[in-house]
Amino acid sequence: MKIAIGCDHGGFQLKEEIVVLLQNMGHEVVNLGTNSLDSVNYPDFAEAVCKAITDGGCERGILICGTGIGMSMAANRHREIRAALCHELFTARMSREHNDANVLCLGARVVGPGLALEIVSTWVNTAFGGGRHLSRIEMFS
Ligand code: RB5
Protein backbone atom coordinates (compact mmCIF):
# COMPACT_ATOMS: atom_id res chain seq x y z
CA MET A 1 0.00 0.00 0.00
CA LYS A 2 1.19 3.55 -0.71
CA ILE A 3 0.94 5.52 2.53
CA ALA A 4 1.68 9.23 3.00
CA ILE A 5 3.00 10.39 6.36
CA GLY A 6 3.44 13.84 7.85
CA CYS A 7 4.05 15.43 11.22
CA ASP A 8 5.01 18.61 13.00
CA HIS A 9 7.94 19.03 15.42
CA GLY A 10 5.87 17.40 18.19
CA GLY A 11 5.44 14.26 16.11
CA PHE A 12 8.82 14.10 14.42
CA GLN A 13 10.46 11.38 16.53
CA LEU A 14 7.41 9.12 16.43
CA LYS A 15 7.03 9.70 12.70
CA GLU A 16 10.55 8.37 12.15
CA GLU A 17 9.67 5.16 14.02
CA ILE A 18 6.43 4.75 12.09
CA VAL A 19 8.23 5.13 8.75
CA VAL A 20 10.53 2.24 9.68
CA LEU A 21 7.57 0.11 10.83
CA LEU A 22 5.62 0.70 7.62
CA GLN A 23 8.65 -0.07 5.46
CA ASN A 24 9.28 -3.27 7.41
CA MET A 25 5.62 -4.19 6.80
CA GLY A 26 6.33 -3.87 3.06
CA HIS A 27 4.50 -0.61 2.39
CA GLU A 28 5.63 2.24 0.17
CA VAL A 29 5.99 5.32 2.39
CA VAL A 30 5.74 8.88 1.06
CA ASN A 31 7.44 10.93 3.77
CA LEU A 32 6.21 14.52 3.56
CA GLY A 33 8.10 15.79 6.62
CA THR A 34 8.73 17.59 8.80
CA ASN A 35 12.22 16.18 9.16
CA SER A 36 13.57 17.89 12.26
CA LEU A 37 12.57 19.16 15.70
CA ASP A 38 12.40 22.77 14.46
CA SER A 39 9.02 24.36 15.10
CA VAL A 40 6.63 24.20 12.13
CA ASN A 41 2.88 24.63 11.53
CA TYR A 42 0.91 21.38 11.57
CA PRO A 43 -1.76 22.50 9.02
CA ASP A 44 0.92 22.60 6.28
CA PHE A 45 1.65 18.92 6.81
CA ALA A 46 -2.00 17.93 7.12
CA GLU A 47 -2.58 19.64 3.77
CA ALA A 48 0.35 17.84 2.12
CA VAL A 49 -0.79 14.40 3.31
CA CYS A 50 -4.41 15.02 2.31
CA LYS A 51 -3.32 16.14 -1.16
CA ALA A 52 -1.15 13.03 -1.50
CA ILE A 53 -4.35 11.02 -0.99
CA THR A 54 -6.74 13.09 -3.10
CA ASP A 55 -4.30 13.88 -5.95
CA GLY A 56 -1.13 11.89 -5.40
CA GLY A 57 -2.12 8.24 -5.57
CA CYS A 58 -1.68 7.45 -1.90
CA GLU A 59 -4.32 5.14 -0.47
CA ARG A 60 -3.95 6.25 3.13
CA GLY A 61 -2.19 8.79 5.32
CA ILE A 62 -0.84 9.12 8.83
CA LEU A 63 -0.50 12.47 10.63
CA ILE A 64 1.27 13.01 13.93
CA CYS A 65 1.46 16.14 16.08
CA GLY A 66 1.67 16.67 19.84
CA THR A 67 -1.92 15.71 20.54
CA GLY A 68 -3.20 14.64 17.11
CA ILE A 69 -6.07 17.10 17.55
CA GLY A 70 -4.88 19.87 15.25
CA MET A 71 -3.97 17.39 12.54
CA SER A 72 -7.38 15.72 12.69
CA MET A 73 -9.20 19.07 12.58
CA ALA A 74 -7.19 20.24 9.57
CA ALA A 75 -7.45 16.92 7.69
CA ASN A 76 -11.21 16.67 8.16
CA ARG A 77 -11.73 19.99 6.34
CA HIS A 78 -11.27 17.92 3.16
CA ARG A 79 -14.47 16.31 1.94
CA GLU A 80 -12.76 13.14 0.70
CA ILE A 81 -10.74 12.69 3.90
CA ARG A 82 -11.97 10.68 6.84
CA ALA A 83 -9.38 11.29 9.55
CA ALA A 84 -9.59 9.38 12.82
CA LEU A 85 -7.75 10.39 15.99
CA CYS A 86 -7.01 7.12 17.78
CA HIS A 87 -5.09 6.52 20.97
CA GLU A 88 -6.04 2.92 21.64
CA LEU A 89 -6.57 -0.22 19.60
CA PHE A 90 -10.36 -0.49 19.63
CA THR A 91 -11.01 2.85 17.92
CA ALA A 92 -8.10 2.24 15.54
CA ARG A 93 -9.78 -0.97 14.37
CA MET A 94 -13.30 0.46 14.31
CA SER A 95 -12.22 3.57 12.39
CA ARG A 96 -11.31 1.22 9.57
CA GLU A 97 -14.13 -1.35 9.87
CA HIS A 98 -16.99 1.13 10.26
CA ASN A 99 -15.69 4.47 8.98
CA ASP A 100 -13.17 3.51 6.29
CA ALA A 101 -10.82 6.11 7.79
CA ASN A 102 -8.21 7.03 5.20
CA VAL A 103 -6.11 9.10 7.61
CA LEU A 104 -4.91 8.07 11.07
CA CYS A 105 -3.98 10.89 13.47
CA LEU A 106 -1.80 10.32 16.50
CA GLY A 107 -0.63 12.46 19.38
CA ALA A 108 3.01 11.76 20.15
CA ARG A 109 2.64 13.46 23.54
CA VAL A 110 -0.37 11.29 24.37
CA VAL A 111 0.75 7.74 23.62
CA GLY A 112 4.14 6.11 23.96
CA PRO A 113 5.88 4.66 20.92
CA GLY A 114 5.05 1.04 21.79
CA LEU A 115 1.29 1.60 21.75
CA ALA A 116 1.51 4.00 18.81
CA LEU A 117 3.21 1.37 16.65
CA GLU A 118 0.54 -1.20 17.58
CA ILE A 119 -2.17 1.30 16.69
CA VAL A 120 -0.54 1.88 13.31
CA SER A 121 -0.24 -1.88 12.58
CA THR A 122 -3.86 -2.49 13.54
CA TRP A 123 -5.13 0.46 11.54
CA VAL A 124 -3.13 -0.40 8.43
CA ASN A 125 -4.14 -4.09 8.54
CA THR A 126 -7.87 -3.65 9.15
CA ALA A 127 -10.24 -3.69 6.16
CA PHE A 128 -13.40 -1.63 5.73
CA GLY A 129 -16.55 -3.62 6.47
CA GLY A 130 -18.64 -2.00 3.69
CA GLY A 131 -22.40 -2.68 3.53
CA ARG A 132 -24.43 -0.43 5.81
CA HIS A 133 -21.27 1.42 6.77
CA LEU A 134 -20.69 2.50 3.16
CA SER A 135 -24.04 4.23 2.86
CA ARG A 136 -23.36 6.03 6.13
CA ILE A 137 -20.02 7.45 5.09
CA GLU A 138 -21.55 8.41 1.74
CA MET A 139 -23.96 10.63 3.66
CA PHE A 140 -21.12 13.01 4.54
CA SER A 141 -18.71 12.49 1.64
C1 RB5 B 1 2.61 22.12 18.80
O2 RB5 B 1 3.17 22.63 19.96
C3 RB5 B 1 1.25 21.51 19.10
O4 RB5 B 1 0.32 22.53 19.26
C5 RB5 B 1 0.84 20.57 18.00
O6 RB5 B 1 1.78 19.56 17.88
C7 RB5 B 1 -0.48 19.85 18.16
O8 RB5 B 1 -0.59 19.24 19.39
C9 RB5 B 1 -1.67 20.61 17.77
O10 RB5 B 1 -2.81 20.10 17.78
Domain range annotation of the chain = 2-138
- On whether the CB atoms of residues 11 and 67 are closer than 8 A, the answer is no
Per residue, the 3-state secondary structure of 70-103, as one string, reads: HHHHHHCCCCCCCEEECCCHHHHHHHHHCCCCCE
43 CA distance to ligand 1 middle (Å): 10
Per the annotation, the verdict on 9 as an active-site residue is: no
Instruction: For 7-39, write each residue's pLDDT tens digit.
Output: 999 999 999 999 999 999 999 999 999 999 999
Pocket of ligand 1 (CB under 6 A): 8, 10, 42, 65-67, 69-70
Per-residue model confidence (pLDDT) at position 56: 92
Distance between Cα 65 and ligand 1 center (Å): 5
Residue tagged active-site, from 9, 27, 98, 133:
98
For residue 48, the CA-to-ligand 1 centroid distance in Å is 17
- Per-residue pLDDT of 74-123, as tens digits, reads 999 999 999 999 999 999 999 999 999 999 999 999 999 999 999 999 99
- pLDDT at residue 44, rounded to an integer: 98
Nearest CA owner, ligand 1 atom 9: 70
Cα–Cα distances in Å, from 114 out to 38, 84, 100? 24, 19, 24
What's residue 87's pLDDT?
Answer: 98
Domain 2-138 is found in CATH 3.40.50.10490 = no
The whole-number pLDDT of residue 75 equals 98
Whether 7 sits among the annotated catalytic residues: the reply is: no
Burial annotation 114-128 (CB, 10 A radius, 16+ → b, else e): eebbebbbbbbebeb
